[in-house]
């Protein structure tokens, strides 16, 4: 029986298009050039109606005959070729393996195509925005860097995972959580609590906070990776769950919240599938030390970098709400920032027994 021909995916066609740029230019005796979207604040706008960051139309030409760009052009095409290979084989791989797959010494020279992974990783992001294709669709995964626990049943590669029966360590969130890889089989939670730090997530999990308040506990151990953000978005979108974000009271915590809510500046094109415009900031707020009786001696003095970052946030369009202007200015005027860990000054279980229950009861959050 004749074998059915393999169907070329839409993503593979886009990657082949990169090679077509080179071939077409060569046939016409022209300089092969790729138009790469500019991934910076200058090319990002905030859509107030959608509550999302959106990438603008500015592009930077990356050409082969430009001495300053030739190597980067070559590297971009090499990475595109490796990604195309993945599509054809229907395999997924890591950022690290892409680096090694595309690294070799150029013939008759001592020059490497790539010297470090710091060169290949940004090229994958460049191709994401150029082709308007998420890294997950390019079959590139990152290391698992998040955890989830609560009344949630998933199907991962055919295996049933009950996130309420995995102990306090929970389930390790994969970097690719698209429906074709990870299905949400059952969810009976009332909300998602996305926690910045693993330390506080561990405390909440150990104290079975999720059981008492019927929620899903999710963490990315710092700036949440895309798998964690995408899972939170899917739970919000598919299961209509409110998302509350718990971060440190400092400029970096504020920014983590804004990335979850509006999307990131660097990859604004992905906001439509990653951001959660209705996500709420549940703390730590700059007024909490006073409201909850935290002594000033557990605060940390703002350094020059903190102050500069806070002032930068004040100027962002998406932080122009009166409540956010007051929040950031209050932190600046106090001269202090507070880590979530500081709540342990009151009691080791203060976060789970007093702080969050009161926040939820009083609906004390920022939007």
Domain assignment of residue 37, yes or no:
no
Residue 56 lies inside a defined structural domain of this protein: no
Q: State whether 22 and 124 are in the same domain.
A: yes
pLDDT digits (tens, 9 = 90+) for 249-296: 999 999 999 999 988 777 777 777 788 999 999 989 999 999 999 889
Among 2-6, 163-167, 215-219, 360-364, name the one with the lowest average pLDDT.
2-6
Q: Which two tokens stand for residue 289?
A: 């030390």
Angle separating helix axes 304-315 and 251-262, nearest 10 degrees: 30
Residue 1: what pLDDT? Answer: 45
Give me the active site residues, please.
100
Which of 110, 141, 172 is where one domain is finished? 141
Q: Domain check: are 187 and 83 in the same one?
A: no
Residues 92 and 173 in one domain: no
Residue 53 lies in a domain: no
- Per the structure, how many domains does the chain have? 2
Of the residues 117, 141, 165, which one is the last residue of a structural domain?
141
Examine the domain organization and report whether 116 and 178 are in the same domain: no
Single out the residue in 122, 141, 160 at which a domain terminates: 141
Task: Say yes or no: 309 and 243 in one domain.
Answer: yes
Per-residue pLDDT tens over the stretch 8-63: 688 888 888 888 888 888 888 888 888 888 877 888 888 888 888 877 888 888 88
Shared domain for 225 and 345, answered yes or no, is yes
Domain contains 77: yes
- Residues 151, 130 share a domain: no
The model's pTM is 0.82
Beta strands in 108-214 (DSSP E): 140-141, 147-149, 152-156, 159-162, 171-172, 182-187, 191-195
**Two structure tokens written together for 331:** 């932190």
Q: Are 326 and 285 in contact (CB under 8 A)?
A: no
Question: Nearest CA to 346 among 301, 269, 305, 292?
Answer: 292
Q: Domain containing 356: what range?
A: 147-362
Statement to judge: residues 105 and 155 lie in one domain: no
Domain at 85, CATH number: 1.10.10.10
Residues 135 and 263 in one domain: no
Residues 107 and 223 in one domain: no
Mean confidence (pLDDT) of the chain: 88
Residue 262 lies in a domain: yes
Do residues 323 and 190 share a domain?
A: yes
């Amino acid at each position: 029986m004749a074998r059915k021909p393999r169907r070329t995916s839409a993503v593979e066609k886009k990657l082949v298009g990169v090679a077509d740029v080179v071939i077409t230019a060569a046939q016409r005796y022209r300089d092969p050039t790729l138009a790469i979207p500019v991934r910076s604040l200058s090319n990002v706008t905030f859509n107030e109606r959608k509550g999302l960051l959106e990438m603008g139309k500015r592009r930077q030409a990356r050409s082969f005959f430009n001495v300053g760009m030739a190597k980067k052009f070559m590297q971009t095409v090499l990475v595109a070729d490796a990604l195309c290979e993945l599509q054809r084989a229907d395999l997924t791989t890591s950022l690290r393996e892409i680096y090694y797959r595309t690294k070799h010494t150029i013939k008759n020279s001592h020059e490497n195509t790539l010297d470090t992974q710091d060169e290949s990783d940004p090229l994958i992001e460049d191709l994401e925005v150029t082709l308007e294709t998420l890294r997950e669709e390019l079959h590139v995964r990152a290391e698992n860097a998040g955890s989830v626990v609560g009344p949630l049943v998933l199907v991962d590669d055919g295996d049933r995972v009950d996130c309420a029966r995995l102990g306090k360590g929970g389930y390790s969130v994969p970097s690719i959580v698209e429906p074709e890889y990870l299905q949400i089989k059952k969810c009976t939670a009332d909300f998602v609590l996305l926690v910045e730090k693993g330390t506080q997530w561990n405390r909440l999990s150990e104290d079975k906070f999720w059981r008492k308040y019927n929620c899903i506990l999710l963490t990315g151990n710092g700036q949440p990776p895309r798998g964690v953000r995408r899972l939170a978005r899917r739970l919000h979108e598919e299961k209509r769950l409110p998302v509350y974000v718990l971060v440190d009271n400092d400029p970096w915590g504020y920014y983590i919240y804004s990335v979850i809510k509006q999307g990131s500046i660097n990859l604004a094109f992905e906001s439509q599938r990653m951001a959660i415009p209705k996500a709420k900031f549940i703390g730590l707020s700059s007024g909490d030390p006073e409201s909850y009786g935290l002594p000033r001696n557990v605060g940390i003095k703002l350094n020059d970098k903190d102050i500069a970052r806070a002032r930068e946030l004040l100027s962002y369009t998406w932080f122009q709400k009166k409540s956010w202007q007051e929040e950031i200015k209050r932190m600046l005027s106090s001269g202090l920032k507070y880590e979530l860990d500081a709540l342990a000054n009151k009691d080791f279980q203060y976060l789970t027994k007093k702080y969050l229950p009161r926040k939820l009861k009083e609906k004390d959050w920022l939007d």
